[in-house]
Amino acid sequence: MKTVLEKNFGFTSFRPNQEEVIESVLQGKDVFVLMPTGGGKSLCYQIPALMMKGTAIVVSPLISLMKDQVDGLLADGISVAYLNSTLSDSEFVEVRKKLTDGKLKILYMAPERLMMPGTLSLLQKINISLFAIDEAHCVSEWGHDFRPEYRKLSELRTHFPNVSMIALTATATERVRKDIVSVLHLKDPVVVISSFNRPNLSYKIIEKKDPNEQIISYLKKNRKKSGIIYCQSRETVERLAERLTKAGFSALPYHAGLADSKRSKNQEKFIRDDVDIIVATVAFGMGIDKPDVRFVIHYDLPKNLESYYQETGRGGRDGLECECILFFNRGDWHKIRFFIEKKPSKKERDLAFQQLSQIMSYCESTECRRNTLLRYFGENWTEPCDNCDSCLRPRKKFDGTAQACLLIDC
Ligand code: ADP
Ligand code: MG
C-alpha cells in the first residue's frame, strides 16, 4: 500500500483512515466511507484498484469531476478511462476494446451509463475488481443532492452479487448514511467515519460595519495570499471585485450570471495562481481542488451551518493554515428572511428558518466555534480548540445573577 502511495501518487504518508479503508477493500469487504471534503476519499478506491486483479468501476455524478480525476491519473501513468456522452464513437470503441482486453485498472462512468443493459452485459464479460460509488449521498432522497439515476444502483448487487462495493460520501447525517447502506445493499459493511474537524482552519466572526473597508484592510495585511470571498448576491460580487481591483488587488468575480466561458476562465486563473482572489457566490466551489487557499471570507451570512462548513472547507486543503472570517451583522437576518419567505412550500420555509436560527446562534454564541460546528455534525467536542475567536479572545464573563433576577422578577 505504502509503495503504491509513493510510487504512483508521490505522497509520503496516508491521511487519517485511508489505510484502514484500503485494507478492508483489499480483504474483499464492503465498505462505507464518510470523510469530509478534501479528506482524500479518491485514494481509498484508487489504491486497491491498482493492487487488485481486474478493472475497478467507479461511479461518479459529474462529467467534469470524472474528467479531472482521469486526467490526473493518466498524468500519474495509470491506465484509466471514462465512458460518457462526451466520447466520440471511435473513442468509445477504443475504451471498450481496452476494457475487454483487460488493459484498464479503473473505469469511470455515470450511474445511468452503468445501469444500461448494454453496459451491464459488457461488464459481465470482464473481471471486475470492485465497484466504487463516489458521492454516494446522491442515492438518498434525504440528502441535499438526490439524483434519481443513482437510485437505480440498487439493482447493481443483483447483477454482481460477488463483487465488493465501496460507497463514499462527505454528507454526515445519520439518515442519509442508513439510506446509502440499504439502497446499495452493502453486505455487513465496514463503516469508517472520519472526524469533520479541520484543525488547520481557524474560525473567526467579525462584526460587519463597513465590510468593503474591513476587507481591504485585511487584504493589505495579507498581500499575495490566495483566497475566496463569498457574497450572497451577484451584484455584491461584481461591486466588490471591482472595488478590490481599483484598490490594487488582483481579484476576479465568479457567479452564475457570467457567461460560461468567462466563468471557467476566471476559475482557471484562480486555480493557476494568475489571480489571488476570487469573489464569488456559492456557485463557486463544487469539485474545486486548489490546495493553497489561505483565507475564506464570508461577506454575508451563509444560509446554514452545513453550507458554511462546506464553503470554508475549500480552504487549507494542503493542511496549512487558513483563516475563515465571517462578517456578521444582525441585519443580514432580514435579508435572508426575505428570500425564505418567497419560497412556495411551507415545509421548505420551515426548514430554512430552522437552519437560519441555527447559524444565528452560532454567530452570537461565545462558545468555541469549532465545537459548535462539530456538534452540528453529531460529534461530541467539548475542549476549547484554541484556534477560533471565542477561544483566543474569550469575551468577558460576569456574574449576572442579580440582573437576571430583575428581568425575570424573582
Ligand atoms: P475528497 O474526495 O475526500 O474530497 P480527494 O480524494 O479529492 O478528497 O483528495 C483531496 C486532495 O488531497 C487531493 O489533492 C489529493 O491528491 C490529496 N491527498 C489525498 N490523500 C493524500 C495523502 N495521503 N497525502 C497527501 N495528499 C493527499
Ligand atoms: Mg471526492
> What confidence tens digit (pLDDT) does each residue in 240-250 have?
999 999 999 99
Q: What residue owns the CA closest to ligand 1's atom 12? A: 40
- Short-list 30, 243, 15, CA closest to 131: 30
Count helices and strands in the chain by DSSP H and E runs: 19, 13
Per-residue pLDDT of 65-85, as tens digits, reads 888 889 989 998 999 999 988
Pocket flag, ligand 1, residue 275 (CB < 6 Å): no
CA–centroid distance, 42 to ligand 1, in Å, is 7
Q: 370 or 394: whose pLDDT is higher?
A: 370
Cα angle vertex 220, ends 245, 282, to 5°?
A: 55
Instruction: State the pTM of this model.
Output: 0.73
Mutational pocket test of ligand 1: of 4, 8, 43, the residue with most ligand atoms within 8 Å of the beta carbon: 43
**Residue 398 pLDDT grade (very low, low, confident, very high; cuts 50, 70, 90):** low
Pocket flag, ligand 1, residue 72 (CB < 6 Å): no
CA–centroid distance, 291 to ligand 2, in Å, is 14
CB-hemisphere CA count at 13 Å for 169?
Answer: 24
Residues flanking ion ligand 2, Cβ below 5 Å: 41
Q: What residue owns the CA closest to ligand 1's atom 2? A: 41
pLDDT value at 95 more than 60? yes
Least confident of 195-209, 222-236, 312-326, 335-349: 335-349
Cα(23)–Cα(18) distance, rounded to whole angstroms? Answer: 9
Mean pLDDT for the stretch of residues 31-52? 94
Q: How many other CB atoms are there within 10 angstroms of residue 400's CB atom? A: 10
Pocket flag, ligand 1, residue 208 (CB < 6 Å): no
Q: List, as one string, the DSSP characters of 264-279.
A: HHHHHHHHTTSSSEEE
Q: What is the pLDDT of residue 310?
A: 87
Question: Given the CA of residue 37, which atom of ligand 1 is nearest to it?
Answer: 4
Q: What is the pLDDT of residue 111?
A: 94
CA–centroid distance, 40 to ligand 1, in Å, is 4
Q: List, as one string, the DSSP characters of 278-347.
A: EEE-TTS-TT---TT--EEEESS--SSHHHHHHHHTTS-TTSS-EEEEEEE-THHHHHHHHHHHT-S-HH
Pocket flag, ligand 1, residue 43 (CB < 6 Å): yes
